[in-house]
Amino acid sequence: MTRQGTPRQIRDSRLAHSLAAGPLELEVPMRDGLMLAADVYLPRSGRAAPAIVLGTPYDKHRIGNADEGRFFQAHGYAYVAYDTRGRGKSEGQWRAHVNDGRDGHDVVEWVARQPWCDGKVGTTGLSYGGWNQWATAREHPPHLVCMASFAAAGRWMEEIPYTFGTFQLYFAYWVWGTRRRIQANRSAPDWERLLLQLPVSSIMESLDAAPGTWDDIRDHDTLDDFWRALRLDKDYCGLDLPCLHVAGWHDREDLLGAFHHYQSMMAASPRAADQWLIVGPWPHVGTRYPQSSYGGIAYGDEAALDMDHVLLRFFDHWLKGRENGWSSEPRVRLFETGTNRWLTPPSWPMSRDPAPFHLSLSGSEGRLSAAPPAGADPPRSYSYDPRDPVRVPGGLSYEEFYEPKLDESYLEQRADVLLYRTAPLRSPLAVSGWPRLELYGSSDGEDTAWHVKLEDQWPDGRLMRVAAGCLRASCRDSLSVPSPLVPGQVTRFDIEMSPVSHVFLPGHRAVLAITSSDFPWFARSCNRMGRAVDQTDPRIALNSVYHGAQGGSRLWLPLASSRRAGSRASSEPESRDS
């Protein structure tokens, strides 16, 4: 068999004709004898070509995959989309995440051996298809040359399916949709009834879900050996691969994972110089199919990148060796929301020196200020009732749940949400990096949850979501071994928020919201110790936030350089003369 870079004529002309008309469905053998089903598209030249591989649990022949296959076929590539084990037409039992690495390795090496492949293989994929690539790369298939990773999961238990101890109820929708071989209609069940059901662990049982994935999620609610085995923390140093990382600021599913992969490769990979990061104002699927607006905000035509063109240049450079200028592309491209423009900073994060914004009181109103408070203000408390959680407006059907929602003004109406605001800004406040909240709080029970959001309050009063984070209180010190709170005792909580590159414009306010629920994205905390998914007896919790120069809560914002603002950013009130 001729190896990388050497053209080979396809020996079977009938196969070549069938594939060129494509796709042809082929069986791909796995090391354990099972077969995975693949759609194969070949260029019409009849000569061996580089191959691009996609592994998906969402139907290899769905319209997006077929369009991508024909696109790369037309540009001189072999394109292979395969159903992951137990999904679609592939054999085996579906069990999310567990078999992807070994199977991905076997698919890549099978493709490289085919007479229609010249031995060079790249991978691509969105969401689960992004994770699939990282699992495959860890197995070191010899013919894997490069990856294009879109919104990839992989920061298990700090991202999904539990985010720092809080269960993402979104996975009820997801497990339902993937519970059989063929993708199910996620609007079919009565979600309004199901998602309010306790215990959470009973949801899939009542839907008669197949065993496997739901069992793993239900039974492994801490960072245990199951999840550690899936994480790549110790593997990035051996991943010698160029990669294009694509993420979206409005991705509520896998934003943390996408940045984790990028930053880990930059820190440990021998190919750190060959990592590219593109982040736009997009939701999850929008990372592969960018649009010019989202959630009621028009970002302009420049936000809608031609991602097909970006991918083609990346693969042409690494798989065909074309000197097309890709190597000179900025290693980091960030769409800065607020100003709505692309930036090309030399690295990410742009700011590594966060500045504190102190939480304090002005009368009965919460204040957020760069200046520390003069003394210790009294704490603010609220009552969190799991039977009446902070709930995104609308129903609980999948379509309503997944509608674009950036305006979170409903937070203003809740007595169980504490808001802290800057004064109207006199100059732009540019934030680029990872915000975090250093929260000093207490609860009157052994456990609760903290949900925090960074909002941009526009002059018209709307609260537009910028970043968010959450933490189960008992997981404050360890995601592996939760420990109870001492009721009423002030405790420090470090809450990571999602990464941002955003400018709060003059006249706007930066607003921090603190509460204890975010339903239905996250399951409700019942304010008790024990496995969250098994709890059936919710209790009302009295939760408090503490202020002061010493031992007081602080929001740490990664302030970017004032170069784009033209003057030092200020969170002080506007002058009456301005």
Whether residue 8 is predicted with pLDDT greater than 80 in this model: the reply is no
Whether residue 26 is predicted with pLDDT greater than 80 in this model: the reply is yes
Q: Given this model, what pLDDT does residue 17 score?
A: 47
Residue pair 39/70 in contact by the 8 Å Cβ criterion: no
Residue 234 structure tokens: 């110790």
Q: Given this model, what pLDDT does residue 551 score?
A: 79
Q: Given this model, what pLDDT does residue 13 score?
A: 44
Chain segment 479-512, per-residue pLDDT in tens: 999 999 999 999 999 999 999 999 999 999 999 9
User: pTM for this one?
Assistant: 0.93
Q: Given this model, what pLDDT does residue 242 score?
A: 98
Whether residue 243 is predicted with pLDDT greater than 60 in this model: the reply is yes
341-343 vs 35-41, strand pairing mode: unpaired
CA dihedral 266, 268, 269, 273 (to 10 degrees): 40
Mean pLDDT of the chain: 91
pLDDT mean over 73-88: 97
- The torsion angles phi and psi of 71, rounded to 5 degrees, stand at -65, -50
Chain segment 513-536, per-residue pLDDT in tens: 999 999 999 999 999 999 999 999
Q: Given this model, what pLDDT does residue 577 score?
A: 28
pLDDT mean over 161-166: 97
Whether the CA torsion 156, 162, 164, 169 is positive or negative: it is positive
pLDDT mean over 301-314: 97
SS3 253: coil
Whether residue 462 is predicted with pLDDT greater than 70 in this model: the reply is yes
Residue pair 72/52 in contact by the 8 Å Cβ criterion: yes
Chain segment 351-406, per-residue pLDDT in tens: 888 999 999 998 889 999 999 888 778 999 999 999 999 998 888 888 888 788 89
- Residue 70's alpha-carbon distances to 52, 193, 317, 516, in angstroms, are 12, 42, 20, 47
Chain segment 254-303, per-residue pLDDT in tens: 999 999 999 999 999 999 999 999 999 999 999 999 999 999 999 999 99
Q: Given this model, what pLDDT does residue 21 score?
A: 58
Residue 253 structure tokens: 């599913």
CA separation for the pair 336, 407 (Å, rounded): 18
Q: Given this model, what pLDDT does residue 237 score?
A: 98
DSSP output for 172-238:
HHHHHHTSSSSPP-TTSS-HHHHTT-SSTTHHHHHTTPPSSHHHHHHH--SS-HHHHHH--TTTGGG
Starting at the edge strand found earlier in the chain, the sheet holding 117-126 runs 24-29, 35-41, 78-83, 49-56, 117-126, 144-150, 243-248, 275-280, 332-336, 341-343
- Of 445, 530, 550, nearest to 489 by C-alpha is 445
CA separation for the pair 135, 118 (Å, rounded): 24
CA separation for the pair 462, 409 (Å, rounded): 6
Q: Given this model, what pLDDT does residue 320 score?
A: 98
Domains, the chain: 1-144 (3.40.50.1820), 169-219 (no CATH), 355-557 (2.60.120.260)
CA separation for the pair 563, 341 (Å, rounded): 15
Q: Is 549 left (phi over 0), alpha (psi -120 to 50) or beta?
A: alpha
Residue 539 structure tokens: 């209790």
Q: Given this model, what pLDDT does residue 398 score?
A: 84
pLDDT mean over 70-90: 97
pLDDT mean over 462-479: 98
Q: Given this model, what pLDDT does residue 11 score?
A: 42
Q: Is 570 exposed, middle or buried (0-12, 13-18, 19+ CB in 10 A)?
A: middle
Whether the CA torsion 227, 229, 231, 234 is positive or negative: it is positive
Residue pair 578/439 in contact by the 8 Å Cβ criterion: no
